[in-house]
Structure 1
Amino acid sequence: MTAKWEKTEANVGVLEVEVTSERFKAALDDAFKKVVKDVNVPGFRKGKVPRRIFEQRFGIEVLYQDAVDLVLPEAYEQAVAETGIEPVDRPSVDLVQVESGKPFIFKATVTVKPEVQLGEYKGVTIEDKTFEVTDETLTEEIEQVLKSHATVEVVEDGEVQDGDTVSIDFLGKVDGEAFEGGEAENFELEIGSGTFIGGFESQLVGMKPGEERDIEVTFPEDYHVKSLQGKAATFHVVLHDIKRKVLPELTDEFVQEVSEFETVDEYRADLKKRLEERAKQDHDRYVEDEVVKKVTENATIDLPEVMVNHEIDHQLNSFAQQLQMQQIPFDAYLEFTGTSLDELREQFREAAEQSVRTALVLEAITAKEGIQVSDDEITAELQKLAESSGLELDRVREIMSVRDPNFESFKRDLATRKTIELLVQNSKIA
């Protein structure tokens, strides 16, 4: 077999493959063995028709398609390996010569991974950012802890306040006409959550149980339902009840209930330490992201549209799975938001392009720097996973090998991490 690769565009080329006549003859033989099992010819038992009789009756041409199906995929993969190209999509195949006794020839138009022209990637300068743990930060974190242990009581005699959860009936109208999705009964709404249109929740403040009120709002220009964008609406609201969170006091007794510490001071000190560790991690992640972003901007790549579309598909699938976890059907989401599938795909395009571009740049740097991952590094990483999951190392290795038999994907991820570490080590923070 011979293979010849010729680029025709930036990321597209033609792979011409010639398979020997002997190899194609073997494929014809295999095709005959497959087809003859279902052939009925008078005077012969089913599946026992001699090859000569079969070809006289049906012609050898009826075997060509099956022979091509048998030989082409393997020949294509072999040709790809021989020429060293990296296809990023299925090829478009044209059959050039399909004839018994002659070489089988086909041409495959292939979109390949683009070339990356790296710019400066060592010594890039980024602007630093402070991730400071202040007294205010500590207070806010403690507030969240207290809220997570809050009790809820029904307000019998009082008015709606910010932070309360209310049960309401409402009916919305635009130009005096009710609209779809603008009506509900016994709807639970937390005041200040931003769940409703701007101005709606704040106008409930001060209401008492049993009170009715008309609320005037205007839908934003970018509202997800196009027919309501920019429209003024009136909601008639009936308030049923008010529920209010009662936060516990931060006392030594509370600390002893929710932690291993004895006093508030000990608890605050530990919490501050954990916040500082988190701030350091956030800072490290920020530096990594900024360095990679800068390095990617410095590179030149002509992105194939097919790679971007594949990434959009991937991100859409992930988004659909997130919706499913929230028990929201994907089609229902599109209908509710008034968005078509094509419009949603366009919303993912910029992020997809950035993701593909970043991956290609990091891959190119990994190759240029000769960064590799040793077996010891793989074992060390698997050991970390074993310790965090509470499983034995061999069990973790077994589980990982099911999805990634040769650990190729795992190796790529580790190599990428090593590449990012190299970029950060060689960067400058201003």
Structure 2
Amino acid sequence: MQVTETLNEGLKRGYAITVTAAELDEKVNEKLAEAQPEIEMKGFRKGRVPMALLKKQFGQRLMGEAMQESIDGAMSKHFEDSGDRPALQPQVKMTNEDWKEGDDVEVEMSYEALPAIPEVDLKALSLEKMVVKADDAAVDEALGNLAETAQDFKARRKGSKAKDGDQVVMDFVGRVDGEAFEGGSAEDYPLALGSNSFIPGFEEQLVGAKAGEEKEVTVTFPEEYQAEHLAGKEAVFTCTVKEVKEPVAAEIDDELAKKFGAEDLDALKGQIRERLEAEYAGAARQVMKRALLDRLDEVVSFDLPPSLVETEAKQIAHQLWHDENPDVEGHDHGEIEPSDDHNKLAERRVRLGLLLAELGQKAEIEVSDAEMTQAIMNQARQYPGQERQFFEFVQQNQQMQQQLRAPIFEDKVVDYAFELADVAEKEVGKDDLQKAVEALEDE
């Protein structure tokens, strides 16, 4: 077997691989000899079929396997000897297309090699970590928002009309074709108008109702309604309104705290303070992560595989185009040409991606099975009722696994860099942190 370099330009590599006919024939014979003891054929005992007959019967089929194994072996040995790592799957094609049995096999292999990544002294990097304490005003604001979510209702003045957002307490009986149906009646039922908890169109017809009124509400059950005997049917509900109540925020007291699982109001405030400071810490980490990546982008420079940059630029251009055209859901639009800005951003992402991968590899950072399982479970929650199917889909899909693994790996490498870098804490206000986060979104 012969491997000859045909291209060495920047990161581009090209090689001509020749597998001789004698080598192929030898490999075929090896495969036949290995299988011979188990082969049975009419007229011969098991393991006694002559090699010449086996070759005539199976040689053609085994020749293809021998070719593939020889070429794969040559490629593996080349990468092992050269130390090259291809940026993408190497392109391999047979150059003597008129090949016939007895000829040498000639193959052309080309790829872009990953560049050598320069060493980075993470300890020489200086970073600032914003620290925000949750003040009483922020805790009180969050407490007020909680009270609104735990709203109560109090009776409106006698004769008041129900508004959207009010609660109507009523008795009702539903009928289809004049006959009451099972599950269509209730007494003293509290219905919040605008909650969309009833059949579409039901709640809107009760806006304007008063206590003591009887009101008929006519609706049509959806075609896909779970009760098949009601699906698509028109129903008339006779509603007797007993009370009209307006929403009021819950009292901020120990009772409210107990609704949210806290022992008392002070304990609830403590939980809110911890949650707020955890949110602030998460936002501050994003700001510091951007600062770290900016510093790495400044101090590290190396050649980039053009194919990786081109692929990344196209993905960026495609995603941004869809962000600007949210009404277009499909991908059957024309090709979107990356701009200079897209290419510049792609270069940054590829450079930092390769650098973080190198840092993680040298630090022996890995994503554990437990971390992957947690990531899959978090994603699966977006598909209620189909969690198991999603889990199985991810297990069988290597690309999806990589999409979930990549951000976990990146964050672990970033945390590793934070540990080594010179990090100075700076206490700031919530507004300062907010401005820093907004600045990230504007870039």
TM-score normalised by L of structure 1: 0.51
- Measured in 2, the distance between the counterparts of 1:146 and 1:409 equals 39
Q: Provide Cα deviations, 1:187-207, integer angstroms capped at 9, x if missing partner.
A: 999xxxxxxxxxxxxxxxxxx
The CA deviation at 1:14 is: 1.4
Q: Does 1:289 align with 2:290?
A: yes
| Helix, strand or coil at the partner of 1:254 | helix
| Aligned residue type for 2:67 | V
Change (3 A) 1:336 1:409: closer
Shift of 1:109: 0.9
Match of 2:90 in 1: 91
Cα distance in structure 2, aligned partners of 1:68 and 1:154: 85
Residues 86/157 of structure 1: CA separation in 2 closer, same or farther (3 Å cut):
same
Post-superposition offset of 1:63: 6.0
Q: Which residue does 1:362 correspond to in 2?
A: 356
For residues 317-360 of structure 1, what are the alpha-carbon distances to aligned partners after superposition, in whole Å with 9 as ceiling and x for unaligned? 9xxxxxxxxxxxxxxx9x98224426699699788765543221
Question: 1:77–1:257: structure 2 CA closer, same or farther, 3 Å change rule?
Answer: same
Rate the CA distance shift 1:102–1:51 in 2: closer, same or farther, 3 A. Answer: same
Contact 2:127/2:422, CA 8 A, preserved across alignment? no
Instruction: From the CA coordinates, give the structure whose radius of gyration is larger.
Output: 2
Out of 385, 394, 417, the position equivalent to 1:420 is 417
| Counterpart in the other structure of 2:186 | none
- What does residue 327 of structure 2 align with? 337
SS in 1 for 2:93: strand
Shift of 1:80: 2.0
**Given the superposition, is the C-alpha separation of residues 159 and 50 from structure 1 closer, same or farther in structure 2, using an over 3 Å criterion?**
same
Whole-Å Cα distance in 2 between the matches of residues 152 and 353 of structure 1? Answer: 57
Query: For 1:167 and 1:257, how far apart are their aligned partners in 2?
Result: 21
Query: Which residue among 176, 186, 195 is the counterpart of 2:201?
Result: 186
Query: C-alpha displacement at 1:141, in angstroms?
Result: 1.9
Contact 2:94-2:106 at 8 Å conserved across structures = yes
Taking the aligned partners of 1:31 and 1:5, their CA distance within structure 2 comes to 30
The CA distance in 1 between the partners of 2:412 and 2:247, in whole Å, is 49
Partners of 1:25 and 1:100 within 8 A in 2? no
3-state SS of 1:249 partner: coil
Match of 1:29 in 2: 29
Tell me if the contact between 1:122 and 1:426 (Cα under 8 Å) persists in the aligned partners: no
Distance 1:260 1:117, change over 3 A: same
3-state DSSP of counterpart to 2:277? helix
How many angstroms apart in 2 are the aligned matches of 1:187 and 1:5?
76
Aligned 8 A contact 2:24 2:63 in 1: no
How far apart are the structure 2 equivalents of 1:54 and 1:347?
A: 56
1:146-198 deviation line (CA, Å, top 9, x unaligned): 24433579997255589x97489xxxxxxxxxxxxxxxx63999xxxxxxxxx
Residues 409, 132 of structure 1: alpha-carbon distance in 2 compared, 3 angstrom cutoff:
closer
Change in CA separation of 1:129 and 1:421 when aligned onto 2, cut-off 3 Å: closer
Contact 1:88 1:307 in 2 (8 A): no
Paired position in structure 2 for 1:14? 14
SS of 1:337's equivalent in the other structure is coil
Could you tell me which amino acid in structure 2 is paired with residue 138 of structure 1? V
Task: Name the structure 1 match of 2:75.
Answer: 76
- One-letter code of the match for 2:352? T
Aligned equivalents of 2:111, 2:3: Cα separation in 1: 13
Q: For residues 265 and 119 of structure 1, do their structure 2 counterparts lie closer, same or farther at Cα, with a shift above 3 Å needed?
A: closer
Q: Deviations over 1:230-261 (max 9, x none)?
A: xxxxxxxxxxxx99754311112222343342
**Root-mean-square deviation (CA), in Å?**
6.1
Any conservation in 1 of the 2:304–2:351 contact (CA below 8 Å)? no
Aligned-partner residue type, residue 363 of structure 2: I
* Aligned counterparts, 1:30-109, within 5 A: 52=52, 64-95=63-94, 104-109=105-110
**Structure 1: how far apart are the matches of 2:133 and 2:354?**
34
Aligned pairs (5 A) from 1:373-388: none
Task: Give 5+ residue unaligned stretches, structure 1.
Answer: 37-42, 169-184, 190-207, 211-241, 318-332, 387-400
Instruction: Give ranges in structure 2 of 5+ residues lacking alignment.
Output: 37-42, 167-191, 210-243, 374-394, 429-443
| Contact 2:14/2:109 (<8 A) preserved | yes
Q: Is the 1:86–1:113 Cα contact (8 Å) retained in structure 2?
A: yes
Q: Which amino acid is 1:157 matched to?
A: K
Residues 1:303 and 1:153: Cα distance change in structure 2 (over 3 Å): farther
Cα offset, 1:83, TM superposition: 1.9
